[in-house]
Chain A
Amino acid sequence: MAKPNPADKKYSKDHEWAKDNSDGTATVGITDYAQEMLTDIVFVELPAIGKKVAKGAPLAVVESVKSVSDVFAPVSGEVIAVNGALEDDPALVNRDAFGEGWIAKMKMSDAAELGSLMDAAAYTSLIKEEKH
């Protein structure tokens, strides 16, 4: 069973999360539901620092043994940090998608975009529907 979706994060319909760090930056990753669908993650292609990405555009790539999936930016902005630990241990995303398995930190170009994302309750009902 997927872990509960934390209330301190906002969610996209593509199963990414963004956490507002209250300093104009957001930390982003994929949801626990997404890692559960992907199962064994064996490779994460991280974006270059300084890369500018628009909301909804490909930010990173996550690969399981069998599949290659884009991770889309939940907000627009510039990549200011990436989770280098994923290079040696991509399965961190499987073990702790909402924490140690974060993917990148972005300097948001429009923090208001966070408002267009789902809150935990809305996202939880979205994945409940997807499961049926």
Chain B
Amino acid sequence: MKKTPLYEKHEALHAKIIDFGGWAMPVQYTNVIDEHKTTRNAAGLFDICHMGEIEVRGKQALDLLQYSLTRNLQNQSIGQIKLAALLTREGGIIDDLTVYKIAQEHYMLVTNAGTRERDFFWLKELREEQALDCTLTDISEQTGKLDLQGPLAEEILRTLTYFDLSQLRYYHFAELKVMGEPGIISRSGYTGEDGFEIYASADIIGDIWDKLLAAGKDLGIKPVGLGARDTLRLEAGMMLNHQDMNETVTPLEIPYGWLVDMDKEFVGRPALQELQKSGPGKKLVGFIMTGRGIARHEYKVYQGAREIGVVTSGTFSPTLNKAIGLAFIETAAAITDAEISIAVRDTMCPAKIVKIPFYKRQK
């Protein structure tokens, strides 16, 4: 298994380590509920070094991204982040990734850990196909990444940089010095809380980790594992690649329609146009269990005796104290407040379709 630069720190903290797509990652340090609530109420620190970073530079960098990604990036300003999808020619989702516009003709793509190579080679192929003048560099190995999330994140991060973080708006970033070394801090994340994603050299990411834990000690900061990262993102209605979506799923079938700008040319667009005409047969919806039982990935969904779909993500929500999830169901059945059942082992358990997110922070 691959290890992040922080692996020894996780071991020293007695984290439970799991194989996450070939990476030895901490799933929890103490327990998921405690780490989840710490992030909602104070601040959680996450090792996200496994995610990928790809640099795109050159005269036609924007042309490549416009052709490869669903989102129209024409009006993206320097210092702004845009979430976008990378599709197959058939319109299936290879990855949902964030695009950081660092300068004119200079971008950083932040990819999922498991799709980093696939993204890289697909972008390369599209660059050759279109004969575009730009470079693609996988900078994942030398780039460390931490997420600091929660209502006290800004107060804690302030101790590490002279930059005025209060000036940083949501989905924007700044290139700055972190502990004297060049880095990037963005106001963004995957938890539904205020917070930051911090990028710095893999050589100093461990020092930043230590410094943040020390700086936030009195404010209640804790390291948080992938277990709580999953419950946090699900409560916030955020989807997970290779679980809620994959290459057989298009953005039109999940709540990613807003990532698709049909007014420009991009790979997969013709397939999406076809799908728009016929209308997608299935749709990803949120649900809450109304009785006992916790729905899990791949459990079947019914309406009456008829099977109408499958759960993609399901867990116990520490904030709502209820079981929640996402499921792919027939479009005709995807009506808010409709009652469905989910087969939990031998029992049909009642659930209700609800709007996502399940949780929205008070601003």
A interface residues (Cβ-Cβ under 8 A, vs B): 39-40, 42-43, 45, 61, 63-66, 68, 87
Contacts and interface: CB of A to CB of B under 8 A. Distances in A.
A65 B32 contact: yes
Q: Main SS of the interface on chain A?
A: strand
Interface residues of B, number: 21
A40 B32 contact: yes
B315 A65 contact: yes
Given A40-B31, A40-B32, A65 B292 contact: no
Contacts, number: 41
Given A42-B316, A45-B345, A61-B345, A68 B296 contact: yes
Given A39-B28, A63-B316, A64-B32, 11 more contacts: A39-B31, A42-B33, A43-B292, A61-B345, A63-B294, A65-B32, A65-B227, A65-B231, A65-B315, A66-B27, A66-B230
Contacts of A68: 294, 296
B315 A66 contact: yes
Interface in B214-232: 227, 230-231
B318 interface: yes
B313 to A, nearest CB: 12
B79 interface: no
A64 B30 CA distance: 13
24 contacts: A39-B28, A39-B30, A39-B31, A40-B32, A40-B33, A40-B34, A42-B294, A43-B294, A45-B293, A45-B345, A61-B345, A64-B32, A65-B31, A65-B32, A65-B33, A65-B36, A65-B227, A65-B231, A65-B316, A66-B27, A66-B227, A66-B230, A66-B315, A87-B292
